[in-house]
Structure 1
Amino acid sequence: MDALLDAQIHTGSAVLTDSAVLIDGGSILGVVPRSEVPAGATRHALGGGILAPGFIDLQVNGGGGVLFNDRPDVEGIRAIVAAHRRFGTTALLPTFITDSRDKRARAVEAVAAALAAGEPGVLGIHLEGPHIDAGRRGVHDARFIAPPDDVDLALMTRLGPGRTLVTLAPETVPSEVIRDLAARGVRVCAGHTAATWEQMEAGIASGVSGVTHLYNAMSPLGHREPGAVGAALTDDRVRCGIIVDGHHVHDAAVRLAWTAKPAGTLFLVTDAMPPVGAPPGDFQLYGETVTVRDGRCVSADGRLAGSALDMATAVRNCVRRIGIPLDEALRMAAAYPADFLGIADRRGRLLPGLAADLVHLDDDVRPLATWVAGKMERC
């Protein structure tokens, strides 16, 4: 048994001092006052800082110089996971964006193999496209955008163990398909969508339960046509991921979303690309160069192409730029994505019986170490 001491502990429901997190065998045994640490426990003095649940990122396109679309194999997944672990993310969904059906099938098979091999930090897969609106595609390749058929439906539901999250445009996908996906346990998110408010509400009624990168690549909020953004902000059934990097969404719009959405229904994603955890430099997407400058990933025609954001920076931005309290920002990076994905009984909080996935941060919210299933790694 190990006891982690001498840090401010954020459990996901409380902020504790003079306490310790007890872990053993990959699981959390409990959080106890320092005076109640068992005599036989191995004590680890952290020397201050913040101890919190490991971050959970549901939208990770790449990292460590690797793009999942280009490396849809276990080795590629392993490299992406390792890159993000340096920034406090202990579990994630490798995200495969619009591409050929063959490559999409390989991506699903790679995640299934990673799960079967017990690769740490892999929760399942996020399939972002290709069933999206061509006019709101962003940098997604228009050649591969198409409505779903039976083969696509089989691909979206064949992962087995692990979680599948699908981003689609609800106005382009029949309601019966959305209902079928939701009934099979797939988390269905609206994204890259030109949906009207009415079309969004119809999608939500059919089983859309989330929104991918709120505000970006979707019909905006207008005072006569609320659009997809209006439905996302006003329908409490919907949970929204948001990119807080100062480039994708104006700080005031982030603050509006945080104010409008009930606690627990707004969570952080990075939409990260290969530059995260890699030496500075540009990268290739669909055979074209994406330029990385000042934290922005931009295609040749000026479109944002994912981000160079890590989750620790997203949390720090929430606190510094938006004014969100630290304990809430930490929940937005761990507890709330776990709730949305349906894994709160395993991850996202420091509770007895949950996985010993933690991050130790300094007082400036910069990662010092992570624990994945109780195994510590310096950042």
Structure 2
Amino acid sequence: MLTALYNTIIVSNGNLTAGKAVILKAGKIDAIVNEAEIPADAERINLNLALLAPGLIDLQIYGAGGSLFGGLPSTQALQQMETTLLQQGCTGFLATVATNSDEVVLKAIAAAKAYRSKSIGNFLGLHLEGPYLNAARKGAHPAKYIKKATLNEVKHWIELANGEIKMITLAPELQDQEVIDYLHQQNIILSSGHSDATYVQGKAFLNKPVQAVTHLYNAMPPMHHREPGIIPAIFEERPYTSIVADGIHVNFTMIALAKRQLGNKLFLITDAVTEATEGTYQHQFTGDRYTMPDGTLSGSALTMLNAVKNCVNKVGIDMPEAINMATLYPAQLAALTSKGKVEAGYDADLIIFDPEFNFLSSVLNGTLHHTNKINPII
């Protein structure tokens, strides 16, 4: 069966395209055609000039819908994340686990494996942010759980996870080369984060083979005219670099600076959490942000679409490029070769939103999903 999404503006690969219809078939984008060429047997869905873009991809999020998977992992929390995030246009995410006890990490691995067969399709796997961090830049991560990686432990977790661990944030300057090499050989995305690396250390490991940086500016040495730190090394080596575009974790002026320096390597994450009253991470919402009970800034209250909106309205990034930062670039980093564009042959994972960045609908695996509040499909 064919489905035709028409009367829309397509946002993909840095471009805006009108007058075209997107033809869906068997969970894929079958073709992009002129509206006059929509196949006669296709079910026609009028998007009423709404914007149609690739589904948003969040490579770092801890919880959603009131379930904090990152601190209290379970299959139920993953199910809640999938449901909630799909209602925000996020058709792909890595459920993230912060520095914690070994027991919690193992619970997260077990939950991911148990949930895989039940997933509706937007849960892509796990991102371990820690415990192999630098305590000097711990942020909201508890120092008592931070440790240096051992090859035996890393191998055990990777083998036990059976492919579910996709990304690990660590402090490369503290790890043995054999650990870095092993993880790279397993096709795990290695991201430098909560690191106290110097400029020279950053130059030595960025893209060699650490291919990413976690939440730019946060939990790393600030730039200084005598001690440049890792940030200038990031700007020079240009690994894929995530940023939290909420104006709280990072000032919008600094996001603009990063965009000028990193171009198509800067991508958006939410780093989002939910409130929790038990476990290691008892996040408290204080109006526009989450903090730990001691007041330390923790995860964000962002959605991916609001991150895109902030990049356009607050940073001055063109909307098609801001969409790339939430779709194409994370897809490229994660080697999701069939996601991140609205093109023939790509997965039919899409977001539909209005010019004011209000979410309208999602398409996942070719199936339309929408909220009860807003339904533009007539």
TM-score range, shorter chain: over 0.9
Q: Note closer, same or farther for the CA distance 1:162–1:33 as it changes in structure 2 (3 Å cut).
A: farther
- CA distance in structure 1 between the aligned counterparts of 2:199 and 2:277, rounded to whole angstroms: 35
**Relative to structure 2, which stretch is displaced further, 324-333 or 35-44?**
35-44
Q: 2:60 touches 2:270 (CA, 8 Å); kept in 1?
A: yes
Cα shift at 1:39:
1.2
Q: Which one of 341, 352, 357 corresponds to residue 334 of structure 2?
A: 341
Q: Which residue of 1 aligns with 2:375?
A: none
Q: 2 CA distance for matches of 1:285 and 1:142? A: 18
Q: Deviation at 1:158?
A: 4.3
Partner of 2:374: none
Counterpart of 1:272?
A: 272
Q: Are residues 1:306 and 2:299 paired?
A: yes
For residue 262 of structure 1, what is the aligned residue in structure 2?
A: 263
1:172 & 1:153 partners in 2: Cα distance?
18
Flag the 1:287–1:112 CA change in 2: closer, same or farther, 3 A.
closer
- 8 Å CA contact 2:268, 2:307 repeated in 1: yes
Match of 1:354 in 2: 346
How far did residue 289 of structure 1 move? Answer: 4.3
Q: Which position in structure 2 is the counterpart of 1:99?
A: 100
How far apart, CA to CA, are the structure 1 residues paired with 2:214 and 2:71? 22
Question: Displacement, 1:239?
Answer: 0.6
Task: Give the Cα–Cα distance (whole angstroms) in 1 for the partners of residues 172 and 193 of structure 2.
Answer: 8
What corresponds to 1:164 in structure 2? 166
Shift of 1:374: 1.0
Instruction: Choose 26-35 or 161-170, whichever is displaced more.
Output: 161-170
Moved more, 132-141 or 290-299: 290-299
- 5+ residue gaps, structure 1, are 275-281
Structure 2 residue 13 is matched with structure 1 residue 12: yes
User: Does the 8 Å CA contact 1:220/1:229 hold for their aligned counterparts?
Assistant: yes
User: Structure 2 CA distance, aligned partners of 1:317 and 1:129?
Assistant: 28
In angstroms, what is the RMSD of aligned CA positions? 1.6
Which letter does structure 1 place at the counterpart of 2:243? I
Is this contact kept in 1: 2:71–2:281, CA < 8 A? Answer: no
The residue that corresponds to 2:189 in the other structure is: 187
Note if contact 1:319-1:326 (Cα within 8 Å) is conserved in structure 2.
Answer: yes
Q: SS of the residue aligned with 1:110?
A: helix
The whole-number CA distance in structure 1 between the counterparts of 2:96 and 2:280 is 18
| Aligned position for 2:370 | 378
Please name the residue that 1:39 is paired with.
40
**1:82 maps to which residue?**
83
Q: For residues 119 and 290 of structure 2, what CA distance do their matches in structure 1 show?
A: 32
Q: CA deviation at 1:45?
A: 0.3
The CA distance in 1 between the partners of 2:156 and 2:206, in whole Å, is 22
- Equivalent residue, structure 1, for 2:69: 68
Distance 2:242 2:172 in 1: 17
Kindly provide the CA deviation profile for residues 224-254 of structure 1, in whole angstroms up to 9, marking residues without a partner as x: 2221222212212x11000000100011100
- Measured at CA, do residues 48 and 163 of structure 1 come closer, stay the same or move farther in structure 2, by a change above 3 Å? farther
**Residues 138-191 of structure 1 deviation map (CA, whole Å, 9 limit, x = unaligned):** 111111111112123331454334561000001111122112111110000000
Deviates more, 1:286-295 or 1:199-208: 286-295
Could you tell me how far 1:328 is from its partner in structure 2? Answer: 0.3
The one-letter amino acid paired with 2:306 is T
- In terms of mean alpha carbon deviation, does 113-122 or 94-103 score higher? 113-122
SS at match of 2:172: coil
Answer yes or no: is 1:318 the counterpart of 2:319: no
Kept in 1: contact 2:100–2:280 (CA 8 A): no
Cα contact 2:97–2:108 (8 A) shared by 1: yes
Identity of aligned residues (%): 34
**Corresponding residue number in structure 2 for 1:277:** none
Q: Which amino acid aligns with 2:78?
A: I
Question: What TM-score, normalized to structure 1?
Answer: 0.93
Partner residue in 2 for 1:210: 212
Q: Which amino acid aligns with 1:94?
A: A
Q: Distance in 2 between matches of 1:205 and 1:92?
A: 23
Corresponding position: 1:290 with 2:280: no
The letter for the 2-side match of 1:262 is G
**TM-score after normalising by structure 2:** 0.94
User: Which residue of structure 2 aligns with residue 278 of structure 1?
Assistant: none
